[in-house]
Amino acid sequence: MNTKETVLNILADLTGSDVSNSMDENLFETGLLDSMGTVQLLLQLQTELGIMAPVSEFERSEWDTPNKIIAKVEAMQ
């Protein structure tokens, strides 16, 4: 499974929604992600992809759409 598929699967598990058709939709504005979901997302990314993204360094505007999350993860790999 590639990075994009992994991230989309994690987001689907966390939000209960398939976000693959709304890659530029703001997950926070739509209510699909909140602060607890953010922590869970970062933990899942660490577990499944080895990405170390501390919550203290999390900038919501850099992680608010599926495309941005995928780009951020790929840059950290």
Q: What is the pLDDT of residues 14-55, one digit of tens each?
A: 999 999 999 999 999 999 999 999 999 999 999 999 998 888
d(CA 49, CA 42): 10
Instruction: Judge whether residue 58 has pLDDT over 90.
Output: no
Query: What average pLDDT does the segment 3-10 reach?
Result: 97
Please count the other Cβ atoms lying within 10 Å of the Cβ belonging to residue 75: 8
pTM: 0.93
Q: How confident is the model at residue 36, as a pLDDT? A: 94
Tell me what pLDDT residue 57 has: 81
Integer angstrom CA distances of residue 56 from 13, 40, 50: 23, 14, 17
18, 12, 64, 20: which is closest to 38 by C-alpha? 64
Domain of residue 52, residue span: 3-76
Number of domains in the chain: 1
Task: Name the one residue in this structure whose structure tokens are 């699967």.
Answer: 9
- State whether residue 74 is helix, strand or coil: helix
User: Domain of 69: which CATH number?
Assistant: 1.10.1200.10
pLDDT recorded at residue 9:
97
